[in-house]
Structure 1
Amino acid sequence: MFFKKRKSKQKGEVKEQIINVTIGQVRQAVNEYADGLKQGISLRTLILDDHSIDFHLLKGTLKGLPSQPFYMSKETFEIFETAELPKQIDNVQKAVDQYMQETGEEPIIPGNPDRKISYYLIRHYLHNKPEVELYLDKRDKMVTHRRPE
C-alpha cells in the first residue's frame, strides 16, 4: 500500500522516510493542504479509490510517509484509522442528501434527541445498511459517527 522506495532523478533509489504519526497530525497536515488548495480544487484529490489518503501529497508537511494508512470520507472529509467507516458514512451521506432533496425532511428517528439517522427512512437510497449508529449534525446536515453531546 505504501511505497518505501521511490526513484529519484539521480542514480539509484532513494528511501522515503517512514514515520509514526497520530491521527491528529494527519488532520493537521490535511488542513494545511486544504488551506493551500487553489479555488476549484477539491480536497478529494487526497483520497484514493479505497478511501486511503495519498500521503505522497502530504509528505512535505509530515516530513515523511506514515507507517500505517489513514482513511478519509469523500463526502464529509473526516479522517479515520480504519477503512470501513468512511465508506459507510459516504453511503449514508448520499442517501441522506437524496432523501432530503426529495422530501424536504431530515431522515432522523422521530423524537430522538441525538438526531440518530433512521435507516428505515432512507432504505430505498442505501446500497448497504451501515453496521454502526450514525447521526445527522444539526448545523451542517453532515453524517457523523460521533454522538452529539
Structure 2
Amino acid sequence: MFFKNWNKKQKGEEKNQVIDVTLEQVRQAVNEYADGLKTGISLRSIVQDDHSIDFDLLKGILNGLPNRPFYMSKETFEIFETADLPNEIDKVQKAVDQYRQENGEEPVIPGNPYGKISYYLIRHYLSSEPEMELYLDRNDKMVTHRCPE
C-alpha cells in the first residue's frame, strides 16, 4: 500500500516539474492535445487572455511544465516564443476575414507574389497598423508572419 501511494505521488510530482522544451515540442504537444479534444471544444481553450498557453492542460503530454511561456494565436493557432506576434496576427486575421466577407476578395497587395497583406485595404478594420509585414497563406487563407517561398 505504501509503495502504491508513493509511486502515484512521485508520478504526480513528475508532471509538475519544470522542464526545458523546444518550440517544436510545444507544437507537438498542442497537436496531440487537439487530437484528443471532444467535439465542440475549441483549441482556444488552452489560450489564456494574454495569449500564453495554459500548460496545466498540457503537462501530462509534456511530462512537466515548461520553464518559460509560449504564446498562441487564437485565430490561426500558430505558436510563438514571444508575446507580441499572436495579438497582432489575431487583429489582422479578423480584419482580413471581415474584408473578405464584405468585399468577396483577399486584401493582398495586387501583383505581390507572396500574398502580402495590404494594410491600406483593411485600414477600416484595424485600430492601428502592424509594424511587421504579414502574409496570407494561399492554401488555408490564414495570416502568417512567414513570407511564403
Same fold (TM over 0.5): yes
Q: Distance in 2 between matches of 1:21 and 1:131?
A: 29
Q: Distance in 2 between matches of 1:69 and 1:22?
A: 11
> Which amino acid is the alignment partner of residue 99 of structure 1?
Y
> Which amino acid is the alignment partner of residue 123 of structure 1?
R
**Worse-superposed segment, 22-31 or 137-146:** 137-146
- Does residue 57 (structure 1) correspond to residue 57 (structure 2)? The answer is yes
What SS is found at the alignment partner of 1:124? helix
How many residue pairs match? The answer is 137
Q: Distance in 2 between matches of 1:75 and 1:92?
A: 10
**1:45 paired residue number:** 45
**2:22 paired residue number:** 22
**2:136 paired residue number:** 136
> With structure 2 as the length reference, what TM-score do the two structures score?
0.89
- Structure with greater helix percent: 2
**1:145 paired residue number:** 145
Q: C-alpha root-mean-square deviation of aligned residues, in Å? A: 1.2
**1:100 paired residue number:** 100
- Does residue 121 (structure 1) correspond to residue 121 (structure 2)? The answer is yes
- Structure with greater strand percent: 1
Deviation at 1:128, TM superposition (A): 2.0
> Which amino acid is the alignment partner of residue 83 of structure 2?
A
Unaligned runs of 5+ in 1: 1-9
Deviation at 1:131, TM superposition (A): 1.4
Could you list the runs of 4 or more consecutive aligned residues of structure 1 that deviate by over 2 angstroms after TM superposition? none
Query: Identity, % of aligned pairs?
Result: 75
